[in-house]
């Protein structure tokens, strides 16, 4: 008997490989990828050009701060300190 596999019946043929080779990307996939990358770059550039809150404060020249006086807040009254007792 020889080790030649060509004389085997058709039911013993070698199966397809478990993992098929990756096919080249189609035009639609390339277009979607290009659009996604372009939109990401455009949004990043727009985000870099928008003024920050610090720029708005410098432009207006005003910094507004709001505070609250609660039992857990330490604050100074006209007659002394208030808030948390130490």
- To the question of pTM greater than 0.85 for the whole model, the response is no
Mean pLDDT score of the chain: 77
Q: CA–CA distance from 53 to each of 36, 57, 63, 65 (Å)?
A: 29, 6, 10, 14
**pLDDT for residue 34 is more than 60:** yes
Over range 22-34, report the average pLDDT.
82
Domain assignments of the chain as residue spans, ordered by start: 7-82
pLDDT digits (tens, 9 = 90+) for 45-64: 988 888 888 988 999 999 98
State how far the Cα of 35 lies from the Cα of 21, in Å rounded to an integer.
26
Name the 3-class secondary structure at 75: strand
**pLDDT for residue 83 is more than 80:** no
pLDDT interval class at 35 (50, 70, 90):
very high
| Biggest distance spanned by C-alpha atoms of the chain | 112
**pLDDT for residue 66 is more than 60:** yes
């Amino acid at each position: 008997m020889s080790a030649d596999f060509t004389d085997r019946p058709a039911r013993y043929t070698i199966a397809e490989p478990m993992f098929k080779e990756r096919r080249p990307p189609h035009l639609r996939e390339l277009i979607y990828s290009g659009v996604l990358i372009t939109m990401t770059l455009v949004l990043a550039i727009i985000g870099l050009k928008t003024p920050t809150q610090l720029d708005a404060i410098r432009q207006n020249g005003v910094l507004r701060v709001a505070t609250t006086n609660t039992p857990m807040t330490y604050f100074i009254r006209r007659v002394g300190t208030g808030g948390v007792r130490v």
